[in-house]
Chain A
């Protein structure tokens, strides 16, 4: 079953234009000029139930706007969307009972009251019965270790503590679809990985569908089987993370450990004619950068027979680099030449 279905979704904002100078300001008084900004440009995708999908893109790419349309906050300019069987903006109050939302940058707890009081209030807002609430709260509190935080006022929590409470607040009514807008922003590594683990478990145990936006690609790597990448309001990539890495990796690095001293000059001699770059820390360790056009096995073949190798490590380009270069080029399509080279390599791998 499909949890989220989006078809040609578009959102256009009217933005007030401020004309320059005193004359302009005066003219603005009488006749406002507006510019239309299209934040989301006819995007389509669908997310099946139980999937964790990453939604990434640069600042201003339209991620948050999409999330806000999916959660019923914004009304789309055109296009169709259904989430959990509802059209979010049409039946907002009924619809939101079934979803959970965390905005990393905004708190949904009440600043002045205790954490547990906030939860109790949300229980009533979401019409959760006392037994269900108790059961769910116990489960969440134990899982996220909030026991000693429950009686503190929200304003006295640290960011990490608050974010765990935010998660509980968004999940108390056991929603089947959860939207997370930058849930790990500003958190330390320990809290980040706790939250990732928690989300993974929740997805596995309850089959919760999760759509997550983030700038931290480790979130994506840890959680998502699928990423949707957005640039300037358009989807530029929709597919598996592994595919993305394969298609976009610019090359690989191979690290060698040698049993006896092997000079860099020697290594360069062995791989003469290949466009690889060697670097060596010392005589017993070296690494080589192999562009995608070349097969790793060819390079290895030249070295393995000749040197006394104790260890080999192949390092793929990390996702950060890949995503950065996609953002910079504004397209996830590979240039022709590189695509051809990629094909060669795939064939080689099958051999």
Chain B
């Protein structure tokens, strides 16, 4: 069957037109270049609108402040809570919120908007993988957030609050790797939530629920070790802890040695596990997709 097409391609290239053929390595390189472009373009677009995001730095610093003072009030004179000392808690709060400043994105909303207004049709006429493109755009946004949100925010937080961070370069390198997995897992959850718009007419409720669940169950608002036992044992088998709680625990020095590798292992396992529902949803969605608006 594809002979016919090859013939057509050969024909068009011999008749002086361009062709989409070429050696396969070359064509793979071009597609890879396209995916990199999606990162770059999203980054530059965000940069062009950076004024809109300056307030974000303030908001994140405020969040850290509110959480810091709340925790200090809770600690009072006590020196340990759920295995956290007051100093560790301060660092944990700062690190968690700053990590969120990086990994947070609106891929769920972008995908469900594409589906609901029908522009998903445009995505499906292109020879690329839509989910992968979204992931790249999310990463472009992540790079922007990392450089213009997280780093300045972190600097402000360290000035204002008694945050103690490790000084060893290896700890920082490890943290960056884990942060990257936080981003991947959070984006995967966003993509799953977004793709659900294929199956329910309005997934607004799901998106809001997801947001609350991620913030709460990832340990951003309350570290997981402070939850009741029954809940924290449930949370240990869910992916959310791999977004904030585990990397935060490592970076604030609560988890050390072999435990660090365990954390990384859990993140990798979740990253791989979450690929399964994404692939499944994507394929199921193709079967029942209908494009809104004619």
Contacting pair B128 A93 (CB below 8 A): yes
Tell me which residues across on chain B come within 8 A of A72, comparing CB atoms: 124-125
Residue A42 CB within 8 A of the other chain: no
Asked, given contacts A86-B1, A132-B19, whether A125 binds B41 with beta carbons under 8 Å apart, the answer is no
In angstroms, how far is the closest chain B Cβ from the Cβ of A33? 13
Q: Which of B1-48 contact A (CB under 8 A)?
A: 1-5, 8-9, 11-12, 15, 17-20, 22, 26-27, 30-31, 33-34, 37-38, 41, 44-45, 48
B33 touches A176 (CB 8 A): no
Q: Are the CB atoms of A85 and B1 closer together than 8 Å?
A: yes
Given contacts A127-B31, A129-B26, contact A103 B20 (CB under 8 A): no
Question: Are A176 and B41 in contact, CB atoms less than 8 angstroms apart?
Answer: no
A96 contacts B125, C-beta separation under 8 Å: yes
Q: Select which of A82, A98, A124, A136 is within 8 A of B34 by beta carbon.
A: A124
In the complex, are the beta carbons of B125 and A133 less than 8 A apart?
no
Most A C-beta atoms less than 10 A away, residue of B3, B11, B291: B291
A94 at the B interface (CB under 8 A): yes
CB distance from B204 to the nearest CB of A (A): 16
CB distance from A286 to the nearest CB of B (A): 46
Answer whether A74 and B290 are a contact pair too, CB < 8 Å, given A85-B3, A106-B121.
Answer: yes
Question: B37 near A93 (CB under 8 angstroms)?
Answer: no
Closest to A11 in B: B290
Number of interface residues of A (CB under 8 A): 56
Among B148-169, those with CB < 8 Å from A are none
Instruction: Evaluate contact between A73 and B124: CB separation under 8 angstroms.
Output: yes
- Complex contacts, A68 vs chain B, CB 8 Å: 121, 291
> Are B31 and A106 in contact, with the CB atoms below 8 A?
no
Residues B113-137 near A (CB distance < 8 A): 118-119, 121-122, 124-129
B22 lies within 8 A of A127 (CB):
yes
Separation of A345 and B56 alpha carbons in the complex (Å): 78
Q: Which of the 9-residue segments A109-117, A245-253, A257-265, A266-274 touches chain B?
A: A109-117
CA distance A191 to B118 in the complex (A): 26
Q: Is the CB–CB distance between A121 and B18 below 8 Å?
A: no
Contact A117 B41 (CB under 8 A): yes
Residues on B with beta carbons closer than 8 Å to the beta carbon of A127: 20, 22, 26-27, 30-31, 127
Chain A residues with Cβ below 8 Å from B291 are 64, 68, 73-74
The answer to whether A98 and B9 touch (CB under 8 A), given A75-B286, A92-B124, is yes
Q: Are B22 and A96 touching (Cβ within 8 A)? A: no
Chain A residues whose CB sits within 8 angstroms of the CB of B19 once the complex forms:
128, 132, 174
Contact B121 A124, beta carbon cutoff 8 Å: no
Q: How far apart sit A129 and B287, CA to CA, in the bound complex (Å)? A: 33
> When the two chains form their complex, are residues B8 and A176 in contact, meaning their CB atoms are under 8 A apart?
yes
Known: A127-B31, A129-B26. A1 touches B4 (CB 8 A): yes
Chain A residues lying within 8 Å of B4, measured Cβ to Cβ, are: 1, 84-85
CB pair B18–A174 under 8 Å, yes or no, is: yes
* Residues of chain B in range 231-273 having any CB-CB distance to chain A below 8 Å: none
A106-B30 contact in complex given A126-B127, A176-B12, C-beta closer than 8 Å = no
Among A93, A125, A135, A136, max chain B CB count under 10 A is at: A125
CB neighbours of B15 from chain A (8 A): 206-207
A contact residues around B118 at 8 Å (CB) = 106
The reply to whether B121 and A73 contact each other, CB–CB distance below 8 Å, is: yes
Q: Which residue of B lies closest to A94 (CB)?
A: B127
A136–B290 CB distance below 8 A: no
A18's nearest neighbour on chain B, judged by CB, is: B201
- Identify the closest chain B residue to A60 (Cβ): B294
B286 contacts A89, C-beta separation under 8 Å: yes
- A residues in contact with B281, CB < 8 Å: none
Contact at B124–A110, with CB atoms within 8 Å?
no
Chain B CB within 8 A of A101 CB: yes
Interface residues of A in 40-86 (CB under 8 A from B): 49, 59-60, 64, 68, 71-75, 82, 84-86
Question: Chain B residues with Cβ under 8 A from A110's Cβ?
Answer: 41
**Chain B residues whose CB sits within 8 angstroms of the CB of A96 once the complex forms:** 124-127
- The answer to whether B18 and A73 touch across the interface, beta carbons within 8 angstroms, is no
Contact A206 B125 (CB under 8 A): no
How far apart sit A64 and B293, CA to CA, in the bound complex (Å)? 10
Asked whether B121 lies within 8 Å of A113 as measured between CB atoms, the reply is: no
A121 adjacent to B34 (CB under 8 Å):
yes
Chain B positions 95 through 107: 1 when the CB is less than 8 Å from some CB of chain A, otherwise 0: 0000000000000
Closest to B201 in A: A16
Question: Which residues of chain A come closer than 8 Å to B22, judged between CB atoms?
Answer: 127, 129
Residue contact B18 to A132, C-beta cutoff 8 Å: yes
A173 touches B18 (CB 8 A): yes
6 extra interchain contacts, Cβ-Cβ under 8 A, other than A74-B289, A127-B22? A13-B290, A68-B121, A74-B290, A127-B20, A135-B18, A172-B18
Closest 8 CB pairs of A and B: A132-B18, A85-B4, A124-B34, A127-B27, A174-B17, A85-B5, A127-B30, A73-B124
